[in-house]
Structure 1
């Protein structure tokens, strides 16, 4: 950046740093999330703030660093912050979508990224001047090292952000294996925010690559946009953590060897028990029915129930239960006994707890809305 202290573009970095400090404090005071998720989100805010500070010090010509130690510390601070924000975002997403999540020994593998970039900086002597390609002692070899380091720092956040988005997608699919009623608003906004960071960091990567072919001033102008989007996304993620994160339903951990799994061949008796339990006991009328409650009534381990529903009924638990609910609603809509009931009353009586879910499923299975279905059947009579 080649502007006096501080122009509007520098100011957004200062504001990002200040906001991140405040968000960490608010996270400690206001968070309703589990402790590990709150700590990871705080770590993410710290790293984003540190990254903003390091970028401000690195690219502002009017904030000069004269000490060799300070220049090296700045370089190490920047690479650490980039790795930290990438890993913390990914682990935060995992923490709020999995039951009983805790950091394990295998998670330490993420530190390999940190050891890599720190070793890269120290071994190559890549201080802040060399990161800016302004060092008088730059050799062809050190320039190549610096280029590779920048490539790594730009690609790493993109990889982690898209990996986090993939985790959310899988999480949404897993929810449908365990719950008959659920709101996807929380997962939807989490996915949107994560993709926002992924695209923002991808844009930063594109600008970096453009910088190899266009002038520095042009690339710098494009890169400034990244700072504004980061500021918006950080604030949005904090708001999300307060409003939605603690409400997310959690999925189960992967099976351990000792846990019960579905047999290779499914017995007709197990299939009949699942169908009879649903139809005779009308468990689908329970709005918050989940697969564990249902499996207890069937008398089969819930993992086996899920596998049978997937293989024999060619659907998931969410779809399986809601098809019964739609059929119940259809019966009520054509029954004169329920003629005075509103559609809202009927959807609640048939086991739905969400109007959007009811209308979506009803139209899928009948090809029309509930109001049209009632009108059509009444006219036929």
Structure 2
């Protein structure tokens, strides 16, 4: 069993470090997010390296304990990674150093009775771990951190998706689904780790050992899944400005538009969409239309998202689908493929086109064309 664990751990470490190395050297304008993800992979790799660390040092050691406390850095780094891929204006700031606090607190607490004592005292500390307030503090702090950070990540993703829908018309929401899935898988993994820690300090420590073995066996598959998804979703959101506000966050007076202004802006908007066809631009943003029709972004956002009851994303797609329907009805264009049509009307992915088309018409583009 030990040999198998060493082999699996070695494979996991190789994949993690290889992917981290790739993320660090690949040429891209998204260097910060790539470095954060690489750092996350490296910390995760160190976290699962316990079988190798135990072979290097006999018995408990400062290196082994420090490796354990590095787990406090994993989730904060992942949170910053999600921030960086959601918002185009993300920058590392001194205020983010606060995320180091749990890691520092846990290590400072371990100095008097672990880091600064001899090997015999370290061994006694580990044997009597159930009575050691430092380890109890560390474990409770870790569990609280897991709950707080994953709640924050899911709320962040929810807000980012709403901001994207209210201000953008391009891209593919599958990237959001991947980021949500990634967070969900990671959250599930940490829940398993919490159960492992609970059993470790119970009367059934052997259950903790079996859970640890299961996690090590899963690690290579999860890392490969990270790699596959990351390479297939390089764009993610990336074009959301963190300074943007949701319409629901606007003061009540800003969401109330006078009827005469509302009608004037609505006519102006519809005329521009019909005459100029800006929806043909796959990267159209609400700011682009605001500039062209001379209506403030906030007022236009309230008009579309609040008054018309649509996200900007759906509003623009309505015009794209109507244009696509006209092409599909045109018998002279019967040879034009669905793929050519979706690019022609402003979509940039087949899945988003099919989803929007079925949402508006109840049919897929292919079935709609056959029914004509």
Query: TM (normalized to structure 2)?
Result: 0.82
- The partner residue of 1:65 within 40, 58, 67 is 58
* Contact map agreement 1:30 1:242 (CA 8 A) in 2: no
* Contact map agreement 2:166 2:312 (CA 8 A) in 1: yes
> Where do 1:47-196 residues align within 5 Å?
47-53=43-49, 55-56=50-51, 60=54, 64-65=57-58, 71-79=61-69, 81-123=70-112, 125=114, 135=124, 142-157=131-146, 159-161=148-150, 163-196=152-185
Report deviation, 1:198. 1.6
Report deviation, 1:362. 2.3
Q: CA–CA distance in 1 between the matches of 2:126 and 2:325?
A: 79
1:105/1:211 CA distance change after superposition, 3 Å: same
> Where do 1:354-373 residues align within 5 Å?
354-373=349-368
> Where do 1:137-286 residues align within 5 Å?
142-157=131-146, 159-161=148-150, 163-213=152-202, 215-246=204-235, 248-255=237-244, 263-266=254-257, 267-268=261-262, 269-286=264-281
State the superposition RMSD in angstroms: 3.5
1:137/1:159 CA distance change after superposition, 3 Å: closer
Q: CA–CA distance in 2 between the matches of 1:50 and 1:127?
A: 23
Q: CA–CA distance in 2 between the matches of 1:121 and 1:298?
A: 63
Find the counterpart in structure 2 of residue 37 from structure 1.
33
Q: Deviations over 1:317-359 (max 9, x none)?
A: 1100111222233344445555565544544443334333333
Greater relative CO, 1 or 2 (CA 8 Å, sep 6+): 2
1:206/1:120 CA distance change after superposition, 3 Å: same
* Contact map agreement 2:176 2:236 (CA 8 A) in 1: no
SS in 2 for 1:245: coil
* Contact map agreement 1:161 1:198 (CA 8 A) in 2: yes
Report deviation, 1:139. 6.4
* Contact map agreement 1:71 1:129 (CA 8 A) in 2: no
Q: Deviations over 1:90-119 (max 9, x none)?
A: 111211221121112321221211222112
Q: CA–CA distance in 1 between the matches of 2:370 and 2:12?
A: 56
Report deviation, 1:151. 3.4
Q: CA–CA distance in 1 between the matches of 2:244 and 2:182?
A: 30
* Contact map agreement 2:166 2:311 (CA 8 A) in 1: yes
1:309/1:128 CA distance change after superposition, 3 Å: farther
Q: CA–CA distance in 2 between the matches of 1:18 and 1:46?
A: 10
Range moving further from structure 2, 136-145 or 361-370: 136-145
* Contact map agreement 2:290 2:300 (CA 8 A) in 1: yes
Report deviation, 1:311. 0.7
1:293/1:158 CA distance change after superposition, 3 Å: same
SS in 2 for 1:7: helix
Q: CA–CA distance in 2 between the matches of 1:129 and 1:19?
A: 36
Find the counterpart in structure 2 of residue 309 from structure 1.
304
Query: TM (normalized to structure 1)?
Result: 0.80
Report deviation, 1:312. 0.9
Q: CA–CA distance in 1 between the matches of 2:91 and 2:135?
A: 36
Q: Deviations over 1:4-62 (max 9, x none)?
A: xx521233334433444433333332252522223212321221222223x3367x4x6
1:57/1:158 CA distance change after superposition, 3 Å: farther
1:302/1:37 CA distance change after superposition, 3 Å: same
Q: Deviations over 1:150-179 (max 9, x none)?
A: 233355346434533443343333222232
Range moving further from structure 2, 218-227 or 173-182: 173-182
Find the counterpart in structure 2 of residue 293 from structure 1.
288
Q: CA–CA distance in 1 between the matches of 2:334 and 2:14?
A: 60
* Contact map agreement 1:97 1:171 (CA 8 A) in 2: yes
Q: Deviations over 1:173-218 (max 9, x none)?
A: 3222232232233333233223222211111112222445552222
Q: Which runs of 5 or more residues in structure 1 are unaligned?
A: none
